[in-house]
Structure 1
């Protein structure tokens, strides 16, 4: 090597050291700029090989590997076929002769191998696809030391990942080419790689007692083997790129050629055995593979084969539940919950009940679910999968044709009871110990309550009896503490308990949409509705002294659920809900119930102007009410609605004033859209009525004009002027959206431009 080249290599090594180790941000930035120049240089390929051959600095080796990856990722013309083949062979030889490289260097070289192999997948020389001898080339690693074997598994695993994902470089190229490469890899290599991983895992299973998992290399090899199997099973077999957020709906589209791996159940047994024999640091990966295996497409099997497969799967789950020690590990627990959810998302309830040990299995699953729900602080994201299982089971009951009992009427009430009581019990702990409140996570609450709304409808009488009992007790205690203001902590606890109950009652009522009409259920709903409305009367009477924001949000959620089910043309007016409301609260028909809605809306807009969340949800409720044709015609006849149409000023609705933040003014558009719809019902061409309605906005226009005329320049308008102008613009936007007929829109236009 020339002296100048030697100096440049040393300089590159120094720059790498500065980039990755220096605490000086300026030095790191300068080093990064210099290395970018090197990576874009014409002789980068040669110098990368020199950096690798020297082998003195792990950071320099990392630079060389990542630079080569960028080079091979560029257009095909940047490197010849022979150069790319040489790089691939060089990487394999390099890893074979240096198995003890730092992990980050090995990973970078493995990524380089996978990238050059994928991008050259269809390249051939003398009718030979030169990049496809994957398994035969890597098998040499698998026959060597533990370090060599681990590198070989990493190579296969990274290649599988690379084939399954679209890199940033490929995103700018043809997606069709990516799918062709992935499909070819799937058809020619993937099953062989999966069988190889299962074979190696089977050997490891037999030798588990002799393995030392405290040894970093042995633990690492087992981790890589399990990840290789997982990567094979999570491969995007049909190019759908399933969104991970729809995890519980995912079906693994295993090719028909893979049938032998699943028909004799040895693959299923392998991963169950691995779960039981591996330490917690590894067993969750075995469960993750079982989640995928449980999700294998139904059409891979005949009916008889599927029944046998499901029996083995359920028995494996039952064995885990009978020996639950490993489920104390959070990762194991989460993957096991996912596995349980897949039992129902991929199989029918009618198939599950036919399994020999179904009664014992469903009993164990119910017990596990109840225990999980009682540990409300533990893994809330995992609970989603348990609730999903029970939700789907209950929803399937009407379609079960099998004569075998599903036993859900026995165990589902236990699940419902555990969810409700555990949430109520959590409140005192949260308040007294100052813990993070689950009620703050509205997204999680909504998701869980949607699931509970279906679960609770199984044996609904038991659900309602429990809710009535708990609600009466909490409401009675709440009223007692209100007479003793010194008991503020106890008042807060009761408000939290009532918040959960109002949310749950709302979800229980909303669950009716999933089931056929049942008058007895409607009567039970009526009992629940009466209690919430009575509580609302109490809390609203105290709003001048302050209120509980979380409880108000729960009330709004309840009103929204009640509106969906019991307000509108589709509701039978002799519904037992309305009979009970008439008997207890003298709310004799839908119109009187709507007046309760509007009074609640007016109350919230008056007292909660400082809470953007409550104002937003209150206005959403008003908007939903103002959309239905039948409902809106009843609304405009109400005195409360006429009050809103004639008094939409900051005096009556403080959120329309300038005291709120600009970001909160977006609610005003929704408010005026709703008012506009209500005004339009019988406005016709009555211009006098229109102008009367517009008086508050006319006053705002004139006020802003006065403020702007007295300012030195509109650019120097006061903050109050700016807020007034923004608020007015929001109001007009809302009205313009509502006035969607020619007559009404022209009234608005003529009001804005009276001299046009």
Structure 2
């Protein structure tokens, strides 16, 4: 018994230092001792000692504090032990009418935590922690003091149930990282589920619409839902933030009919706010996985929403500028995640193609940004040639499938404010053609310099063919036809120059580019369905013999 009293004296001294001590060093030591007590196998017995034999309210408060921390640890106590603790506390507060109010409050908080954390636990086919209401009824049928305790239990339980059951994530903990990853994968699987049995072709990624069930509508209408995934993207490491972005791609693809028009506008506004936040804090986009998913996200926005809806969003003007700068930077760094550029070009292609159908008076600003996108594509491809040749890298021109896909996307964008594009191409074509001729006539020309110049000319021929082919995708005028003639004329002159060098010298990349150009030119300006060719024929100054061959 003497030993018990000695332990009790030490514990009460700890309480005094912890709750009313004025020496900071002593309080820090007391807090450390408290943590050691909680981790001790004797914690429950020491708490019982403080409650039953403690001489101060602070002793009882320390016991309540230890019990609270003990029952909320990540590794829970056995269910039988937690039931015993709950019953013990209920009997204790019922039999101690003179307890200090703050002690009663602290002990009842332990009951509330136990009830909440064990709400779904079953023992012998019963939810053993849900009988709290029956326990409270017994308090309410007792004395006034007992009634007060019963009401406090209900109040604390209500507050506890209203708190979010979560602990701060420790992303240094591999197990917690794995938990977050599996939860995000689960959400992505739910959002990607084929709810209507359409068996959509996954290769048509940019055309996908997610057929969210109507019963989920309330969740999607809550702005906190989108905010949660944007916050996760900004706070998680790349492997996990990529999954958060993949979920946002699906959110952006939610079927339009899930919302009314005002609800859809609000939902779109929240998506655009999230885009703005990502582009204003672009650090995460340095990860190729995040970058790729974000590009998919942008493309899905335009797939699922009309340009007329986008321009009505409050942040549209600012965000379209941020997207344009992001696209230009992406095109300039052509070697970084090249497969993702497809989605950015898809976005701009569909934005520009939608211009004739916009009824809103709000400015779409594409006449400002589309020429900048076109210029960035053109100049970045020309600048890439020297790097590819000198560093012996894989040449993007060798991947003709990707080149043709990107050029077909660019053709629509390039016809917006076509005068700017045409002026740039004329300037670049003349400059590079002249440089090429000088190299051919120079005895000291290095093969690497010739290869670079031929690569640049190949890109320029592809680009001229692309913008000429874009005539069929955009509003055109006689002036545009004249510009096509100016550009086409230069290609035909280069063809003559290349033919004059045969069979001594040839360049496969230039030959393939010429075939692309001729095919685009034929589809655009040669054919029975075209009633007027005089403008382009005059401007391109083609020999009649070549015209006749093109018509065949």
**TM-score strictly above 0.5:** yes
1:229 paired to 2:183? no
Aligned to 2:134: none
**Runs of 5+ unmatched residues, structure 1:** 1-138, 145-201, 598-630, 636-756
Which 10-residue stretch deviates more, 479-488 or 246-255?
479-488
User: In the alignment, which of 243, 252, 255 is matched to residue 294 of structure 1?
Assistant: 252
Contact kept? 1:526, 1:580, Cα under 8 Å: yes
Correspondences of 1:642-657 after superposition (within 5 Å): none
The alpha-carbon deviation at position 425 of structure 1 amounts to: 0.2
Q: Distance in 2 between matches of 1:500 and 1:525?
A: 17
1:438 paired to 2:392? no
The alpha-carbon deviation at position 592 of structure 1 amounts to: 4.1
Aligned to 1:274: 232
Correspondences of 1:503-582 after superposition (within 5 Å): 503-582=462-541
Contact kept? 1:522, 1:577, Cα under 8 Å: yes
Q: Distance in 1 between matches of 2:511 and 2:299?
A: 33
Correspondences of 1:372-383 after superposition (within 5 Å): 372-383=330-341
Q: Distance in 2 between matches of 1:574 and 1:310?
A: 45
- Summarize deviations over 1:344-389 as a string: whole Å, max 9, x none: 0000000000000100000000000000000010111100000000
User: In the alignment, which of 538, 548, 552 is matched to residue 594 of structure 1?
Assistant: 548
Q: Distance in 1 between matches of 2:121 and 2:321?
A: 47
Aligned to 1:648: none
Correspondences of 1:256-655 after superposition (within 5 Å): 256-485=214-443, 486-582=445-541, 585=542, 587=543, 592-595=546-549, 597=550, 631=551, 635=552
SS in 2 for 1:239: coil
The alpha-carbon deviation at position 574 of structure 1 amounts to: 4.4
Contact kept? 2:525, 2:533, Cα under 8 Å: no
Contact kept? 2:209, 2:255, Cα under 8 Å: yes
SS in 1 for 2:503: helix
Q: TM-score, normalized by length of structure 2? A: 0.69
Q: Distance in 1 between matches of 2:121 and 2:439?
A: 74
- Summarize deviations over 1:623-673 as a string: whole Å, max 9, x none: xxxxxxxx4xxx4xxxxxxxxxxxxxxxxxxxxxxxxxxxxxxxxxxxxxx
Distance 1:279 1:203, change over 3 A: farther
Write out the 4+ residue segments of structure 1 that deviate beyond 3 Å after TM superposition.
none
Contact kept? 1:519, 1:575, Cα under 8 Å: no
Correspondences of 1:716-727 after superposition (within 5 Å): none
Contact kept? 2:385, 2:452, Cα under 8 Å: yes
Distance 1:446 1:143, change over 3 A: farther
Distance 1:557 1:574, change over 3 A: closer
Distance 1:417 1:444, change over 3 A: same
Contact kept? 1:272, 1:316, Cα under 8 Å: yes
The alpha-carbon deviation at position 544 of structure 1 amounts to: 1.2
Q: Distance in 1 between matches of 2:181 and 2:437?
A: 58
Q: Distance in 2 between matches of 1:203 and 1:333?
A: 32
Q: Distance in 1 between matches of 2:201 and 2:429?
A: 40
Q: Distance in 1 between matches of 2:387 and 2:164?
A: 49
Q: TM-score, normalized by length of structure 1? A: 0.51
The alpha-carbon deviation at position 581 of structure 1 amounts to: 2.4
Q: Distance in 1 between matches of 2:398 and 2:278?
A: 34
Q: Distance in 1 between matches of 2:267 and 2:212?
A: 15
Contact kept? 1:522, 1:575, Cα under 8 Å: no
Q: Distance in 2 between matches of 1:539 and 1:476?
A: 13
Aligned to 1:249: 207
Q: Distance in 1 between matches of 2:469 and 2:121?
A: 61
The alpha-carbon deviation at position 203 of structure 1 amounts to: 6.4
**Runs of 5+ unmatched residues, structure 2:** 1-116, 123-162
The alpha-carbon deviation at position 211 of structure 1 amounts to: 2.5
- Summarize deviations over 1:29-65 as a string: whole Å, max 9, x none: xxxxxxxxxxxxxxxxxxxxxxxxxxxxxxxxxxxxx
- Summarize deviations over 1:420-454 as a string: whole Å, max 9, x none: 00000000000001011000000000000000000
Q: Distance in 1 between matches of 2:450 and 2:502?
A: 15
Rg: which structure is higher? 2
Q: Distance in 2 between matches of 1:448 and 1:203?
A: 48
Distance 1:143 1:528, change over 3 A: farther
Contact kept? 2:328, 2:372, Cα under 8 Å: yes
SS in 1 for 2:203: helix
Aligned to 1:238: 196
The alpha-carbon deviation at position 488 of structure 1 amounts to: 1.2
Q: Distance in 2 between matches of 1:244 and 1:514?
A: 27
Q: Distance in 1 between matches of 2:462 and 2:515?
A: 9
SS in 1 for 2:354: helix
Contact kept? 1:506, 1:559, Cα under 8 Å: yes
Q: Distance in 2 between matches of 1:241 and 1:559?
A: 39
- Summarize deviations over 1:195-236 as a string: whole Å, max 9, x none: xxxxxxx969x74xx423232211111110000000000000
The alpha-carbon deviation at position 575 of structure 1 amounts to: 3.7
